């Protein structure tokens, strides 16, 4: 008999429905994927692995013999906060397609800033016909904070598009063609030299509020920030001050402390802020289902569990 893999999710009904169609197809011949609500008591007890997407933690707890969970998202700070430390191992989604999609977003929004689009949009509203000096990518530096699966791909893509690239990570890194920095001094150097600063790191105890008043005031005059990571990594009051009084020229924000961004937020109407509804790199169901099927197939074949999140490190 084929094993049953629970699908535990409190995502939106549309999202759940899409996964309920894609996952059984991808895992065909490997396991039967069943929504948590449809499991029998025996199936709950027998489950060793579950697929999760914004799960109700009580439902995960109702699977007493789980060894690991496969998340359908790349960011796992919520799961880490909600599942007990001695609970199942957490495996996040790492999909090369997501790195490709994210690096495309980094390129798109860096070019948006590099070509001065916010200024030209504002000029059009005021019917102002005025050109501004055009710099070449070779004269611009992109700073990428976080050099993991997504950051490294974005750094290489920016390099391939002729930008200078500075990268920053927690531990020392070496990536061909990218000047890599780490540590506090490294962060201040990257902030001070970059025209465009791209955030691609996880939300952890260490990165929460990482960019506060001191860090933002160390940014290069007129530079811009692109946050594709998590909202709470930037201190919002400090960001607004850095936009209103300098040194920041613009912020492209895809992620927020509260999502959807409440209508009362000042960020919506700020002339120097571009608000995006968390769209820089959505999980692509077709490729992600294939990755999940591969991981679960290997587990049932030889017991291999993919690399799990390090609870102490926070990612």
Active site residues per annotation: 230, 259, 278
* CA–CA gap between residue 14 and residue 1 (Å, rounded): 30
Q: Which of 12, 50, 23 is nearest to 285 (CA)?
A: 23
Q: Write out the two tokens for 288.
A: 């992600």
Q: Of the ranges 41-49, 57-65, 169-177, 240-248, which one interacts with ligand NAP (CB under 6 A)? A: 169-177
Q: Tell me how far apart the alpha carbons of residues 113 and 204 are, in angstroms, rounded to a whole number.
A: 28
If one asks whether residue 200 binds ligand NAP (CB under 6 A), the answer comes out as yes
Is residue 157 at the binding interface for ligand NAP, with CB under 6 A as the rule?
no
Looking at 201, 211, 248, 292, which residue binds ligand NAP (CB under 6 A)? 201
Q: What separation in angstroms does the CA of 63 have from each of 39, 44, 229?
A: 10, 5, 31
Q: Vertex 9, ends 5 and 13: CA angle to 5°? A: 120
Question: Would you count residue 254 as binding ligand NAP (CB under 6 A)?
Answer: yes
Assess 306 for contact with ligand NAP (CB under 6 A). no
Whichever of 66 and 229 has its CB closer to ligand NAP, that residue is 229
Closest-approach residue to ligand NAP (CB): 148
Choices 110-118, 145-153, 188-196, 288-296 (CB under 6 A): range interacting with ligand NAP:
145-153
Contact region for ligand NAP (CB under 6 A) — 45-53, 242-250, 274-282, 294-302? 274-282
9-48: which residues touch ligand NAP (CB under 6 A)?
none
Q: Does 181 engage in binding with ligand NAP (CB under 6 A)? A: no
Q: Report in angstroms how near the CB of residue 258 gets to ligand NAP at its nearest.
A: 15
Largest Cα–Cα distance in the chain? Answer: 71
Q: Does 75 bind ligand NAP (CB under 6 A)?
A: yes
Pull the structure tokens for residue 20: 């309920």
Closer CB to ligand NAP, 57 or 148, in the complex: 148
- The Cα 8–Cα 147 span in angstroms is 31
CB atoms within 10 A of CB 253: 22
Place of tokens 């005021």: 126
Q: How many residues does the chain have?
A: 315
Asked if 251 interacts with ligand NAP (CB under 6 A), we say no
Q: Which lies closer to ligand NAP via its Cβ, residue 211 or residue 229? A: 229
Distance CA 60, CA 300 (A): 20
- Comparing CA positions, the residue from 266, 269, 220, 262 lying closest to residue 242 is 220
- Name the token pair of 119: 């200024």
Note the residues at the interface with ligand NAP (CB under 6 A): 74-75, 98, 146-151, 169-171, 173, 200-204, 206-207, 228-230, 254-255, 278, 280-281, 315
């Amino acid at each position: 008999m084929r094993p049953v893999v629970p699908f535990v999710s409190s995502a939106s009904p549309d999202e759940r429905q899409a996964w309920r169609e894609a996952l059984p197809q991808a895992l065909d011949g490997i396991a039967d994927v069943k929504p948590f609500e449809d499991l029998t008591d025996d199936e709950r007890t027998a489950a060793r692995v579950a697929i999760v997407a914004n799960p109700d933690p009580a439902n995960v707890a109702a699977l007493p013999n789980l060894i690991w969970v496969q998340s359908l998202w790349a960011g796992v700070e919520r799961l880490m906060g909600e599942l007990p430390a001695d609970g199942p191992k957490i495996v996040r989604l790492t999909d090369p397609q997501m790195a490709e999609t994210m690096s495309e977003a980094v390129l798109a929004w860096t070019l948006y800033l590099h070509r001065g689009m916010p200024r030209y949009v504002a000029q059009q509203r005021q019917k102002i016909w005025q050109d501004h000096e055009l710099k070449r990518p070779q004269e611009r530096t992109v700073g990428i904070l976080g050099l993991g699966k997504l950051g490294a791909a974005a750094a290489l893509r920016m390099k391939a598009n002729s930008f200078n690239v500075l990268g920053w990570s927690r531990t020392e890194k070496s990536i061909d063609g990218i000047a890599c920095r780490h540590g506090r001094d490294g962060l201040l150097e990257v902030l001070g030299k970059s025209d465009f600063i791209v955030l691609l790191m996880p939300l952890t105890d260490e990165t929460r509020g990482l960019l506060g008043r001191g860090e933002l005031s160390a940014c290069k005059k007129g530079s811009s920030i692109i946050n594709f990571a998590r909202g709470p990594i930037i201190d919002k009051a400090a960001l607004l001050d850095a936009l209103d009084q300098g040194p920041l020229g613009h912020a492209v924000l895809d992620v927020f402390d509260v999502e959807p961004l409440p209508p009362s937020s000042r960020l919506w109407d700020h002339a120097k802020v571009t608000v995006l509804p968390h769209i820089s790199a959505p999980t692509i169901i077709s490729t992600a289902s294939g990755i999940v099927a591969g991981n679960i197939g290997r587990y049932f074949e030889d017991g291999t569990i993919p690399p799990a999140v390090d609870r102490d490190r926070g990612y």
